[in-house]
Each structure stands twice: as C-alpha cells, then as structure tokens.
DNA sequence: GTACAAGGTGGGAACGTTCCCACAAAACGG
DNA sequence: CCGTTTTGTGGGAACGTTCCCACCTTGTAC
C-alpha cells in the first residue's frame, strides 16, 4: 500500500537494515549508500511508519489530554482552552503528538481509549473524578494533573498559586481604598476556587478587615450564568450592604456579575470596582475592561508537557507539585480616576 | 511488558486465535471458551493494543485536525474552538481518536507528523496555504476542509452559508428602520468575510440602498484589536456620516468597534445599532449583548467527521460542498425599545 | 456406513519497523 | 605477514495483533 522501507531498500540496491541505519543515523553507513538512500527517500517522499515504529520501540510518542467537564464544552473554554493551546505548542516542539479528548458524562470511555492507543503519557485537566484517577492508576502510564483538584497526593500536579493570587486581588482592592467587599466564590470543592477565596480573605483579615459570611455568595458552577443569577438574586442585599468592591473567583463569574450591575445602571468602576481571576481573553474586550489576576496558562501547559516527558523518560526524581505565579493585571474595572 | 492476547490465551488454556475470535466476535467459539476468556479479560483489565491492530488492519482509527493560524492561538479561539469541540464530540461517538495540531509558522511539520502517524483522515480548518494542501494531496489520505478558503475546487468543503448570513444581517437592520450602514469587513481574501460583506451589500442594494465604498473599512485581521483600531481611526468619519448601524463581518471585530463606541460614550443600541457574525460565547456576556448571525459550528463539526468517515470507508459519491444554515440571533445591541 | 456440513480450534504468515548478530572487507599496528 | 580493529553490510527475530488455512470432532442426511 503505502511506501515502506523495503521498497526504498530495493530501489537503492541495499538492504532494509541499511536504510534503517541511514534514517536513524545510528551505526555505520558508507557515504555512497547514505546519499543514495537519502535521495530516494526525498524523491519518493517516504515517511517512516510511526505505527510500526511504535510496535517495536514500545513508544508511540503520543500523549493524551483528558478533560472532563460537565457544564461546558471544553476546548473552546476560555481558560482551559488556553492551557490546551500551550500543551499543543510545547508538545509539538518535543515531537509528541497529542490526542485531545473530552468527556461530558464522566465515563471511563476516553481513558479506555487512551490506554488502547498506548499513549506514552496522560495529562489530566481540571477536576477528574477519583474513580477515573484510580482507573488510570491501574495502568502503567505516567500521568499528571493540571489545575486539578484531588485529595490524592502522590499525584503530580501543576497548579497556579491561587491563594497567592487571592491575596494579590485583595491587596489591590485594599490599596485603592476599598473596605467593603462582596465576593462571588465558585464551587468550593474545586481547589482553585477554594484557595482564591481563602487567600483573598486572609489578606484582608491581616489588614483587620474580616469578610463576613453574608458578604460571600456561592455560585454553584463557575459560569457566566451562575455569576449572573447569583448577583441578581442577592442584588438587594448587595445594594443595601454598601459594598464598593466585587471580587469573583474567576472571570466568567465576574462577567455575569457585571452584566447585572450594567442592567441596574451601577457604574463600574465609579460606584463599584470589580475584579475577576484567570485573565481570559474577553477580559480586555468588554467595557469597562476587567481587572483580574492572570494565570500563567502558557507556563502551566509548558510545565505539564515537560514534566510528563521526564516521567516518560524516567528522568530524575520529580517535584510533586509545580506552582506557577499569577500576576495582577489592572484594567478599567478598578480604575480610580479617568 | 503490557498485557497481550498471548497471555490471556495462556491463562484461559486456549490459543491466541480463539481469544482474538472472542474479542472480535467473528468466527466460531464455544460458549465455554468465550466465557472463560471474557472473564479473564475482565479480571486482568486487558486492553487490546490499538497499535498492533493498526499494524495489521492498516487503519489507525485516528484522525488529525490541522489548524493554521498566524494571529491567534487556536484551540482557545472563540470560534474555531467551538468547531474543534464539535469534531471531538462526534469523533468520539464514531470511535475515532483525534490528533489536534496547530501550526503558527505555516510549515509542513504538522502535516508531516500526521502522515507519519498514519491517520485515517485529515480535517483542515480555516485558510490553509495552498502549498500545505498540495503537500497533503501527495499522500493518499482522505481530507476535507472546514470553514476554509481556497480556489482549489476538488476539495470537499464544509462551510457556513455566509452570503445568506450577510443578507439576514442586512434584512434585520433594514427591518429596524436603519438606512445608513457602516461596515467593518475582515480580510477579503478569506471566503467567509468576503461573502458576508457581499451578502450584506446585495441585500441592501436590492432594497435600493447601495453601500458606498466610503462606508466600508477593512481591518487587516479578524481580531478585536483590528476592529478597535479601525473603528478608532475612522471614528470622525463615522460620526460625520450619520450612520445608525454598524455591521462587522465577525463578532470579535464588532467587539472592537463597540469598545470604541463605549469609549466615546456612544450609546448602543440607542444611538447606533451593532451587529456581528459567528455568535461566539462572549456575545451574550457583554452589555449590551451582541446581536449576531450564529454559525452552526456544532453542525459543521459533525458534518466534517461524518463526511470524513465516509471518505475513509470509501462510501458513496460525495457532495463537494456542504453548507450549513446560519441563524439570526437578536440581542440588546439592536434592540429598539427597552 | 459413507459423505458432507457445521462447529470449534490452533498454527503461522503478515503488517513495517528496529536492532542484534554474523560476517566480510579494508585498515592498521606490531 | 598475521592478528585485531574499524567500517560496512544483510539476515532474521521480535513487537501484538488479525486472518487465512488446515485440521479435528460431531451431527445429520442419504
């Protein structure tokens, strides 16, 4: 069917072993044989069959990215999509191809698939159910988790310093003179939302401003709709509370809240300052643009692939936890004068 | 290393042929042998090796998605990401795994990779350079193009009815009573931007309202920044023109324009109505939310995989062009009363 | 009782590589 | 000039499947 090493060998008048040596550059080959073979390969556009290679080397040079999300399509997700992009870019540079799979029904189907395809390693994104993790553990594939959430230590994780980010957000608002804070905190079962809230609270507490429980509401999902709904539901309470700043544990929730404020003609930032977290692309597009804590998704993706590659190559003892530093991005939604 | 059919055979006291028959369900097997083998497979969590299977069947059950974009990370792209999501979902349902690759430098690297991995088929997204297409043609892999732009007929394409969409946009604005239209038209080398503008113009022309050349500006890329810059640059001209409606050939450009309007305190929709095209997720989130023409990305992704599968299975004579219907989505940016 | 189909099984080639090994010729050191 | 290294080559096993084929046992029809 498709061109093989044997065919190349025949045309060059050498054995397949010689062709193999030329391609891999290992072992002895005479310059003449080398040139001849290379010329024919070029001429016929021969591409080595990675399947056959994988067969003998027991390495596919493929990695799998597994994302489970119930509430959102995944690749186009404004935050997770960025991580996937970074993974793709890094992986390509390291000669890995990437299988991307999403599962909405929390089944083991995708994981199964990846095992059958004999990926060299697996990157798990977001909160995987423990049963999926346990399942994956059963096989011998290296894997790690990005922006995950699990009690299972022993799993290598790449995370953002969320608590630190929460503190930065608090410090920024505090520095602008705000003293009454209203918080929309996404699902607390998820590590990042939990820590962002925690950091935010701690920082303010250390300034002598504890945040009362009544000042925090909990959207049940980290989505625009939930941010919108929760802000609407608590709007009267919010209005009455004399709050001058709103912090949401991610940008989409913040956007939902801002939509409600716009609806009620509350001026941002003049009457209320708003901050999000993540720095999704939309944050710059709306008016006022959103002040936020940028998660270094680029770095997270790069680290994920780099670490996974090490695991695959059985390199070095690994750090169990890799943390990347978030960064305050000041935009219009917390501007003071203009 | 990893569990093989041979091992299963040994444990079940049968030959590997029998195990193979049990797994595939083809050929004769006694109930006893079947039960025994199945039980052992279950017990040991044996997963057939897809690499070995591919070796003999000459089918990998993998497909590749190739996206070339110079100006934007790709998977997280608010529009293309949605297409990828739909592809992923459909492919999973048809037992295909999906390699996703992005190339920023227009090289042939990704294409090469996919060929080596022996994907069963290829989905090309957006405008591929002709040299990439020619290169791919050299191999025998089935492929098709989604939302592409090429003069090369003979390529199977899945596209949105962009001209129709342009007409729908025009009709909507016309119906609201607008008569002076300002247009931001993305790169005219790209089929979709070209047709959207064309449809918009034609529809209005048929109503006796030709759009003057001076009413159309051309962002050099279909991005927020370019929309923003072009609107800014032509703002005085725009103001002086008495325009009451703005149409942009995609949402991100429209968003850029709206940002400028917000900056100048021009009220949308009260003073100026704005329409975009695509219906990216963010269109609902900003205030005012954006009226747009929704592209059925879901359907495009599904069609792409379904068609590709047919090509792979050498099914039926194919339609060369599959068009999906866009839909007007009315939101706040063109609302009349409130 | 013979023939022949149906049910059930296992052996082995093939898929396209890599890599080990055997071998041969040339180069080189004493 | 002989042994040993260096350079170069090709054959063949192995990787884990599928699938063809040969074979063996029953059952059944005549």
Identify from A66, A287, A295 which residue to disrupt to test chain B contact, counting B C-beta atoms within 10 A and taking the largest count.
Answer: A287
pLDDT > 90 in chain A, percent: 83
Nearest-CA residue of chain B relative to A264?
B287
State the pLDDT at residue A134: 87
Would you say residue B68 has pLDDT above 80? no
**pLDDT-derived band of residue B337, with 50, 70 and 90 as boundaries?**
low
Residue B338 is predicted with a pLDDT of 46
* Alpha helical stretches, state H, chain B: 5-12, 16-24, 31-44, 50-57, 80-93, 109-116, 130-137, 162-175, 191-206, 224-233, 235-240, 251-263, 297-312
Neighbour count for residue A7 (Cβ, 10 Å): 15
Residue A181: the pLDDT is: 98
Distance A72 CA to C17 C1' (A): 42
pLDDT digits (tens, 9 = 90+) for A102-144: 876 667 888 999 999 999 999 999 877 788 888 898 888 999 9
Q: What gap in Å lies between CA B208 and CA B57, rounded to an integer?
A: 62
- Directed axis angle between helix B31-44 and helix B5-12, to 10°? 120
For chain A, which residues make up each domain, given as ranges?
A: 5-48, 62-160+298-324, 162-295+328-334
Query: Rounded CA gap, B291 and A203, in Å?
Result: 41
pLDDT of residue A188: 96
Chain C: positions less than 7 Å from a protein CB are 7-12, 14-20
The string of DSSP codes covering B279-295 is --GGGGTSSSPPBEEE-
Class assignment of domain A62-160+298-324? alpha beta
Q: Give the 3-state secondary structure of residue A275.
A: strand
**3-state SS record for B65-105:** EEEECCCCCCCCCCCHHHHHHHHHHHHHHCCCEEEEEEECC
User: Rounded distance, CA A105 to CA A122, Å?
Assistant: 19
Read off the pLDDT of residues A179-202 as tens digits, 9 standing for 90 and up: 999 999 999 999 999 999 999 999
State the residue for tokens 């079940």: B12
What is the share, in percent, of chain B residues with pLDDT greater than 70? 97
Burial A98-109, CB ≥16 within 10 A → b, else e: bbbbbbeeeeee
User: Quick one: pLDDT band at residue A70, thresholds 50, 70, 90?
Assistant: low
- With CB atoms and an 8 Å threshold, state whether A50 touches B258: no
What is the per-residue pLDDT for B250?
Answer: 97
Residue among A50, A68, A69 at smallest CA distance from A60: A50
The mean per-residue pLDDT over the stretch A295-321 comes to: 92
Q: Per 3-state DSSP, what percentage of chain A is helix, strand, and coil (rounded to 5)?
A: 45, 15, 40
- Tell how strand B273-275 and strand B245-248 pair up: parallel
Could you say which nucleotides of strand D lie within 7 A of any protein CB atom?
Answer: 7-12, 14-20
Angle formed by the axes of helices A31-44 and A5-12, nearest 10°: 120
A287 and B75 within 8 Å at the Cβ level: the answer is no
The yes-or-no verdict on residue A247 having pLDDT over 60 is yes
- Which sign, positive or negative, has the C-alpha torsion A56, A57, A59, A60? negative
By three-state DSSP, how is residue B263 classified? helix
Q: Which residues pair with B159 in a beta bridge?
A: B323
> What's the pLDDT at A338?
46
- Residue corresponding to tokens 């070796």: B55
Per-residue model confidence (pLDDT) at position A72: 67
* 8 Å CB contact of A286 and B286: yes
Lowest mean per-residue pLDDT among A97-106, B137-146, B195-204, B270-279: A97-106
Task: Identify all chain B residues contacting A88, using CB atoms and an 8 Å cutoff.
Answer: 74-75, 100-102
Strand C–CB A3 distance below 7 A: yes
- With 60 as the cut, is the pLDDT of residue B1 above it? no
pTM of the full structure: 0.95
Spatial strand order of the sheet with A273-275 comes to A216-217, A181-184, A245-248, A273-275
What are B64's strand-pairing partners? B99, B122
Confidence of residue B138 (pLDDT cuts 50, 70, 90): confident
Which residue among A55, A104, A255 places its CB closest to the CB of B52? A55
Would you say B183 and B215 are in contact if contact means Cβ atoms under 8 Å apart?
yes
With beta carbons less than 8 A apart as the criterion, state whether A86 and A297 touch. yes
Strands A157-160 and A143-146: parallel
pLDDT reported for residue B202: 98
What is the structure's pLDDT at A300? 98
Chain A contact present for B84, CB below 8 A = yes
Judge whether B124 and B288 are in contact, CB under 8 Å.
no
CATH 3.40.50.1970 for domain B5-48? no
Contacts of A124 (CB under 8 A, 6+ apart): A66, A67, A132, A133, A136, A143, A144, A145, A146, A148
Task: Please return the burial class of A316, using the count of CB atoms within 10 Å of its CB with bins 0-12, 13-18 and 19+.
Answer: exposed
**CATH number assigned to the domain covering B162-295+328-334:** 3.40.50.2300
Helix B16-24 / helix B5-12 crossing angle, nearest 10 deg:
110
Contacts of B272 (CB under 8 A, 6+ apart): B243, B244, B245, B246, B261, B266
Burial class of B4 by CB neighbour count within 10 A (0 to 12, 13 to 18, 19+): middle
Give the sign of the dihedral formed by CA B262, CA B264, CA B265, CA B268: negative
Q: In this complex, is the C-beta atom of A88 within 8 Å of any C-beta atom belonging to chain B? A: yes
In this chain, the answer to whether the domains covering A5-48 and A162-295+328-334 adopt an identical fold is: no
Interface test with B, best of A3, A75, A225 (most B CBs within 10 A): A75
Q: Of A224, A333, A253, nearest to B280 (Cα)?
A: A224
Q: What are phi and psi of A95, to 5 degrees?
A: 65, 30
Q: Is the CB of residue A59 inside 7 Å of nucleic acid strand C?
A: no
Distance from CA of A207 to the nearest CA of B (A): 34
Cα A276 from Cα B65, distance rounded (Å): 33
Nearest Cβ partner of B85 from A76, A117, A140?
A76
Closest CA to B298 of B84, B34, B102: B84
Q: How far is residue B35 CA from its own chain's centroid?
A: 45
CB proximity B42 to A under 8 Å: no
């Amino acid at each position: 069917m498709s061109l093989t090493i044997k065919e190349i060998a025949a045309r060059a008048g050498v054995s397949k072993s010689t062709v193999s040596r030329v391609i891999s550059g290992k072992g002895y080959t005479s310059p003449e044989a080398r040139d001849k073979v290379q010329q024919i390969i070029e001429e016929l556009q021969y591409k080595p069959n990675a399947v056959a290679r994988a067969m003998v080397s027991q390495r596919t040079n493929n990695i799998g990215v597994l994302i489970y999300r119930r509430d959102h399509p995944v690749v186009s997700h404004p935050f997770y999509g960025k991580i996937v992009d970074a993974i793709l870019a890094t992986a390509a540079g390291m000669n890995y191809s990437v299988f991307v799979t999403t599962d909405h029904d929390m089944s083991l189907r995708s994981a199964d698939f990846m095992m059958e395809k004999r990926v060299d390693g697996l990157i798990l994104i977001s909160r995987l159910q423990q049963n999926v993790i346990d399942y994956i553990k059963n096989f011998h594939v290296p894997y790690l988790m990005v922006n995950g959430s699990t009690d299972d230590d022993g799993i290598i994780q790449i995370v953002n310093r969320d608590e630190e980010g929460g503190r930065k957000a608090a410090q920024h608002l505090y520095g602008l003179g705000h003293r009454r804070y209203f918080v929309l905190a996404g699902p607390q079962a998820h590590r990042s939302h939990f820590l962002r809230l925690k950091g935010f609270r701690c920082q303010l507490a250390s300034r002598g401003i504890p945040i009362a429980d009544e000042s925090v509401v909990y959207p049940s999902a980290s989505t625009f709709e939930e941010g919108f709904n929760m802000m609407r539901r608590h709007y009267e309470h919010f209005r009455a509370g004399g709050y001058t700043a709103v912090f949401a544990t991610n940008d989409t929730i913040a956007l939902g809240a801002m939509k409600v404020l716009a609806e009620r003609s509350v001026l941002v930032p003049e009457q209320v300052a708003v901050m999000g977290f993540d720095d999704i692309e939309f944050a710059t597009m709306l008016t006022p643009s959103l002040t936020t804590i940028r998660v270094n998704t680029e770095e997270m993706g790069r680290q994920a692939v780099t670490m996974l590659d090490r695991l695959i190559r059985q390199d070095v003892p690994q750090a169990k936890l890799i943390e990347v530093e978030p960064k305050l991005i000041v935009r219009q939604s917390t501007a003071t004068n203009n």
